[in-house]
Amino acid sequence: MPPHPNAPARTVLFGAFDRHNFGDLLFPHVLERMLAPRSVCHAGLATRDLRACGGHAVRAFGALAAAARDIPLNVVHVGGELLTCDAWEAVVMLSPPGSTQTLIAQEKAWKDDPLAWAQIHTGVAARAPYLLSRAAFAQVQIDTLLFHAVGGVDLERRDAPFRAEVLEKLRHADHLSVRDRQTRDQLRVQGIDAQLIPDPAVMVAELFGARISNRAAQGAVKTVLQTFPQGYIAIQFDAGFGDDATLDRLACEIARAARKTKFGIVLFRAGAAPWHDDLDIYGRLGARIEGTPFSVFASLNLWDICALIAHSRIYCGSSLHGRIVAMAFARPRINLAHAADATRPTRQAAFAATWEPAEIAATANAHEVAEAIETALNVDAALLRHTADDLVGRYRTAFETFDTFIE
């Protein structure tokens, strides 16, 4: 039976939560809680069930749209650096084990005919497939098309056709908000106004503090707390830090920080999708810090990762959302940055510059880690708490505007 013509619109949360990446798994939990009691469904480019690691059962948007028939949809693009993710990157990061290298090798085929390649591999002919448009899904009644707290720090560095597609899609949005000033200012130059709102992950302690505390009292996090009763440094970095020279430098700095603080070292993964964090690299690092108390945190469960960060003495890593979760729990934090990024703002630095006080350092290169950890640990605890509370208030206030678009 077709829906009643006055049936309420169905809200679809759309984003990159069809792969294992810490922030992407967290976003829909925050939006779902903020939008309650309204019901939502979850969509990405691919159908994936990530409930075993704390995520959601996600449907490919194309399949969901085909099943929607005459149901009017509110489509919400939820967080993340969606404005700069191209089709080739998306497909590689979604690739199942065993096919990643084959898809990486197709970079030239993608560049030669990006729209046709994207159609084959993502089901939509788009250079930026994580940005939906009404034109690409003309068979679906999309009542409202929203972009919530998205990022695009490197948009100006992308090629002209990619930028043109992104900007055209944003111009047709019913509401657009971004999570950092750099993205907002780039769009403003193009005549596109965007609301500035903190990343949804700033709400994690406010909304899920009790759940995360309960998680720390059991399983993998409880074991860490028992192993390092004096405290630990939660460390994470992506595969881009895996060359021998960088690992040598990191090992030296991490061992130095452990000696000075007397804290243990816990290495964890904030993402298991291709191009994210790599256990083999952690193993190579571990061999270089022999004698330093450390462990590798095996759990990939979203709530375990949150609890690990929340109960650490300090977070140090390359993940923006590792930083933001540490911030939400008023923990010291420092982001690892590649030396090549020294001349351009990263998403981590852009977020910190937008929302954090100057006394809280944003990033450090591999050779600066020990000193950066010491500096971060000396930041006034009251300032850390004030920053966390302030961003909760700012997010709630900004969310009120977005909320008016969802019936």
Average pLDDT score, the chain: 94
**Which CATH number belongs to the domain containing residue 264 in this structure?**
3.40.50.2000
* pLDDT for residue 7: 53
- In the predicted model, is pLDDT for residue 129 greater than 80? yes
Strand partners for 59? 43
Domain membership flag for residue 3: no
Joined tokens for residue 91: 């497909």
* pLDDT for residue 8: 56
Domain membership flag for residue 61: yes
Domain boundary among 179, 197, 215: 197
- Chain segment 133-171, per-residue pLDDT in tens: 998 888 888 999 999 999 999 999 999 999 999 999 999
Amino acid at 188: R
Residue 81's SS3 state is: coil
Distance between CA 383 and CA 371 in Å, rounded? Answer: 20
Distance between CA 23 and CA 20 in Å, rounded? Answer: 9
Q: Tell me, yes or no, whether 235 and 381 share the same domain.
A: yes
Domain membership flag for residue 2: no
Q: Tell me, yes or no, whether 33 and 178 share the same domain.
A: yes
Domain membership flag for residue 398: no
- Chain segment 52-83, per-residue pLDDT in tens: 999 999 999 999 988 887 789 999 999 899 99
Joined tokens for residue 397: 């206030």
Q: What domain range is 65 assigned to?
A: 10-197
Tell me which residue of 313, 305, 300 sits closest to 215, measured CA to CA: 305
* pLDDT for residue 215: 96
Domain boundary among 135, 163, 197: 197
* pLDDT for residue 2: 45
Q: Tell me, yes or no, whether 208 and 186 share the same domain.
A: no
Q: Tell me, yes or no, whether 14 and 75 share the same domain.
A: yes
Looking at the structure of the chain, the number of domains it has is 2
Domain membership flag for residue 402: no
Determine which of 166-180, 234-248, 329-343 has the lowest per-residue pLDDT on average: 329-343
Domain membership flag for residue 78: yes
- In the predicted model, is pLDDT for residue 366 greater than 60? yes
- In the predicted model, is pLDDT for residue 4 greater than 70? no
Q: Tell me, yes or no, whether 193 and 219 share the same domain.
A: no
Strands 294-296 and 264-267: parallel
Q: How many CA atoms lie within 13 A of 53 on its CB side?
A: 25
Average pLDDT over every residue of 85-107? 94
User: What is the 3-state composition of the chain as percent helix, strand, coil, each rounded to the nearest 5?
Assistant: 50, 15, 35
Average pLDDT over every residue of 237-242? 93
Determine which of 45-54, 67-76, 106-115, 325-334 has the lowest per-residue pLDDT on average: 67-76
Q: Tell me, yes or no, whether 212 and 118 share the same domain.
A: no
Q: Tell me, yes or no, whether 124 and 85 share the same domain.
A: yes
Percentage of the chain lying above the pLDDT 90 cut = 89
DSSP state of 182: H
Distance between CA 282 and CA 294 in Å, rounded? Answer: 11
Average pLDDT over every residue of 230-257? 96
